[in-house]
Structure 1
Amino acid sequence: MSEGVVIFLVDLAIIVAAARLLGQAAIRLRQPRVVGEILAGVLLGPTLLGGFSDWLFPASARSALGALSTVGLVLFVFLVGYELDRRMLRASGRQAVVVALGALAVPVVLGVALGWWLVRRHGAADPSATALFIGVAVAVTAFPVLARIVTEHGLQRVRAGNLSLAAAAVDDVLAWGLLYAVIAYAGAQGQHMWRLALAVPYVLAHLYLVRPMLRRLLGRAGAGNGALAAVLAGLLVSCAAAEWIGAHYIFGAFLFGAMMPREGMSEAREQIVARLEPVNNMLLVPVFFAVAGLNVDLSRMRPDVLGELALVVAVAVVAKVLGTYPTARLGGLGPREALTVSTLMNTRGLTEIVVLTVGLQVGLIDQLVFSVMVAMALLTTIMTGPALWALGVRRDKAEPGTVTRPEAVPVVPGRHLTLASPGVSRPSRPAPPGRRPESGSARRDAA
């Protein structure tokens, strides 16, 4: 066996173990597992190991790990598109759309201004495209991480949590569209600009050819091995086609996932997700974090760069609050409920890392700006839990490690989330006659 294979396998074992350990540590610290996994990827790079990371992850191993991370990224984005619940989007109503537009528009505007400032400090091959990209990166909300936080805090059946889920789903779709537009704009001076004109027939082919074929395939064969192999082959071809026409392969993954049939095929959907998600989450996504972490070096941040990080975090947080809070209040939510929605929409996590990796790969940002933006993604995700605690939202009594998938629950008028400093007051049954109602703290103590 060659030495390169040995190094690759050892590196893979180190990545999986580090992601698992720090992911579990994050859960114990009341953080989403993804925070620990992202941190593991960063710490395996030069941030903690310095030059030793080049010895631990030589060029030959990085090449193989990079190929694995591409597969992991494709599967992750495919699952994001597949798990978008169209019923939630249809049932969310105008309010969720308005909140999503506010949560996207204001951060994009402030993010573009921030991007121009960063361009003046660091330079860029295409300043306008880089500024637009920073605007999109600031506006991103990580729907998968937000869904996990909402479920862990028991907010999926109250108005603030349900509105956040619906708005984040709309935000995700719009953000991917904006990212595609920015990538297309950045490649406008390329030699193969004519290929971008194929984007329209590419999307139409998915709507009128790929989707009916998938419906017939899954309707006839279910989610067996043959059908799953056909789905994976189609997914990879879609990604290759998206890359060839001048877009990024992640757009092919997202579109293919969004085109997967859902109506009347919930069992097949659950089987496909259940078979792909564990391997992707335990192996391929940690490899993606590690490969991304090799491009992050937080140890060499000078005081002026730390000032940039502080400004980026401030703009990201303020932009989400300014975009989300007023629109949530206009929809009838109380002040603390609107702040809860703003806090949840400020979650970025893995989706942000994906977007930043795309920007780094196509040359819109350099490694220093990438490092600053990754740190921002980590910090804004970490602060979600403490911010919810400060608003009076406590975690659900469910085991943190076992999280059910959020369901599409229509927003019930008048079913508000009552927030108080001790915890979350949920609708309770009336006390039996002659029995004095218990206070919230008494109920918690009894539990």
Structure 2
Amino acid sequence: MTSHQVQLLFVDLALILFLARGLGQLATRLQQPAVVGEILAGVLLGPTLLHGAISDTLFPSDVRPLLTGLANVGVALFMFGVGLELDGAALRGRGRTTAGAVLGSTLVPFALGLVLALYLAGDHAPHNRTAFVVFVGLAVSVTAFPVLARILTDRGLSTTTVGGLALATAAAVDVVAWAALAAVQAGVGGGSGHWKVALTLPFLGAMVVVVRPLLRRLFVPAGRPVEFTSQHLALVLILALLSAAATEAMGMHFIFGAFLCGTVMPRAGAETLREEIHRRTGQVTAILLPVYFVVAGLNVDLSGLDGGMLIDLGLIFAVAVVGKFGGTYLGARSQRLQPRPAAAVAVLMNTRGLTELVILGVGLELGLLDGSLYSLMVVMAVVTTAMTGPLLSRVYREPVEIPPVTARRKTTTVVRS
């Protein structure tokens, strides 16, 4: 690196953190998730404004690879945190209501997305039409579990029946989404032979059968969690990065390895330990993740938005919102969940946030999305995330009593608004 590159890299990082924090705080004051403001910071620094004059000056081609490297580390640790937050217990004990919501929230938007993809394929000419169609269906079916969890916490709904149902549904949808994305990448090939992709199965088995018990012995000996130290943090980071590198070497995206590492961390009896791990790794992510927003924003160019692109954007937005809301609502109602709680869960499942950006980034890397379609999908991700809070306030302001969802429970659960 030259001295000029070092200077520009440091200036870029300072600017990124300043704008991301500032717009994130502004979004929070407007009762929006901070991620909305942080994503907007990335878009504003991209080529949309002044036809790329800002982005070309601040982020020249010789500095962008350095930022991309930092962004990849940030998103890998973010995906580790997503895996860490997923709790299998949330998927149990919710019964048929969760199953109905999961099926509706996944199948309906996916089916509508397939139809949308067939329409978009004519203008965006994907090199792999089948993978493109499946990918678009997947992209409109995503829910951002971490953002949804924070919305529930901010509104005091995380411990309510509706909050638990939404978390369980989002967790299941997340697992389905990552598995589907892995299948899409395996089908495309990711630049590697298919025999390498097949190695993910024994790798998955080794992580579950070997690594998980070892981590439990290390962090929860004799059923009691150890005091988390800087050495433990270093070990966690090493494991997450090596796991990410392993799946990348197998022809899969590195996010799968990082996500998998988070899921095998100890759970039973280690709740406090997991919170500490998430807090410590979150401090690193808070610094690096805004870089990912800018790297993503550098690929978003809305300066050439015309009538045709507006029509495409309208269709993408309609399919994403109607499919996600309608599918979740119908799935929950099919299991006799009351209309207002069902509508609240449906609104929450429409949250996409950074999870959508990660998936769209994979699609861009694989060549399944061109620049214009990627830009439109990013706009959809921002708008659907921003609309979650206001819609939730409209459909779920007052307490609602939910009848028992299983035959064993005879009491009525009161849900806070």
Question: Do the structures match in fold with TM over 0.5?
Answer: yes
CA distance in structure 2 between the partners assigned to 1:87 and 1:53 by the alignment: 45
- CA distance 1:257–1:412, change in 2 (3 Å): farther
8 Å CA contact 1:388, 1:394 repeated in 2: no
Which residue in the other structure is 1:344 paired with? 348
CA distance in structure 2 between the partners assigned to 1:416 and 1:185 by the alignment: 47
CA distance in structure 1 between the partners assigned to 2:31 and 2:9 by the alignment: 33
Amino acid at match of 1:356: L
Greater CA drift, 259-268 or 302-311: 259-268
Deviations 1:41-67 (A, max 9, x none): 111111124222111111122111100
Please state if 1:255 is matched with 2:253.
no
CA distance in structure 1 between the partners assigned to 2:368 and 2:194 by the alignment: 17
CA distance in structure 2 between the partners assigned to 1:336 and 1:412 by the alignment: 21
For residues 271-290 of structure 1, what are the structure 2 equivalents within 5 Å? 271-281=276-286, 283-290=287-294
Please state if 1:267 is matched with 2:272.
yes
Deviations 1:261-297 (A, max 9, x none): 111222322221111102312x111100000000001
Which residue, out of 169, 172, 192, partners 1:170? 172
CA distance in structure 1 between the partners assigned to 2:410 and 2:203 by the alignment: 39
Greater CA drift, 47-56 or 308-317: 47-56
CA distance in structure 2 between the partners assigned to 1:263 and 1:182 by the alignment: 33
Greater CA drift, 47-56 or 306-315: 47-56
Shift of 1:149: 1.3
- Helix, strand or coil for the counterpart of 1:140? coil
Deviations 1:112-135 (A, max 9, x none): 111121111110110110110111
Which residue in the other structure is 2:119 paired with? 117
Shift of 1:154: 2.1
Which residue, out of 86, 89, 102, partners 1:87? 89
CA distance in structure 2 between the partners assigned to 1:303 and 1:274 by the alignment: 45
Shift of 1:170: 0.9
CA distance in structure 1 between the partners assigned to 2:139 and 2:168 by the alignment: 20
Shift of 1:219: 3.0
CA distance in structure 2 between the partners assigned to 1:290 and 1:413 by the alignment: 50
Shift of 1:162: 2.1
Shift of 1:3: 1.0
Which residue, out of 373, 385, 391, partners 2:389? 385
8 Å CA contact 1:153, 1:393 repeated in 2: no
8 Å CA contact 2:100, 2:334 repeated in 1: no
Please state if 1:204 is matched with 2:208.
no
CA distance in structure 2 between the partners assigned to 1:205 and 1:412 by the alignment: 43
8 Å CA contact 2:118, 2:133 repeated in 1: yes
For residues 47-58 of structure 1, what are the structure 2 equivalents within 5 Å? 47-49=48-50, 50-58=52-60
Which residue, out of 328, 332, 335, partners 2:336? 332
Amino acid at match of 1:260: M
Consecutive unaligned residues of structure 2, counting only runs of 5 or more, are 400-408
Task: State the number of aligned residues.
Answer: 402
- CA distance 1:412–1:312, change in 2 (3 Å): farther
Amino acid at match of 2:413: R
TM-score norm. by structure 2 comes to: 0.92
For residues 185-196 of structure 1, what are the structure 2 equivalents within 5 Å? 185-187=187-189, 192-196=193-197
CA distance in structure 2 between the partners assigned to 1:256 and 1:412 by the alignment: 39
- CA distance 1:272–1:184, change in 2 (3 Å): same
Amino acid at match of 1:119: A
Which residue in the other structure is 1:435 paired with? none
Which residue, out of 298, 323, 328, partners 2:327? 323
Which residue in the other structure is 1:218 paired with? 219
Shift of 1:147: 1.1
CA distance in structure 1 between the partners assigned to 2:241 and 2:372 by the alignment: 31
CA distance in structure 1 between the partners assigned to 2:410 and 2:73 by the alignment: 40
CA distance in structure 1 between the partners assigned to 2:255 and 2:66 by the alignment: 19
Deviations 1:233-275 (A, max 9, x none): 1211111110111111111011111011111222322221111
Give the structure with higher Rg (CA): 1
- CA distance 1:219–1:156, change in 2 (3 Å): closer
Shift of 1:208: 1.1
- Helix, strand or coil for the counterpart of 1:155? coil
TM-score norm. by structure 1 comes to: 0.86
Which residue in the other structure is 1:4 paired with? 5
- Helix, strand or coil for the counterpart of 1:300? coil
Shift of 1:332: 2.6
8 Å CA contact 1:243, 1:249 repeated in 2: yes
Shift of 1:161: 2.3
Please state if 1:242 is matched with 2:215.
no
CA distance in structure 1 between the partners assigned to 2:107 and 2:101 by the alignment: 10
Shift of 1:93: 2.6
CA distance in structure 2 between the partners assigned to 1:71 and 1:222 by the alignment: 26
Percent of pairs identical after alignment?
Answer: 50
Which residue in the other structure is 1:415 paired with? 413
Deviations 1:298-348 (A, max 9, x none): 222111101111110000011012211112112332222211111110010
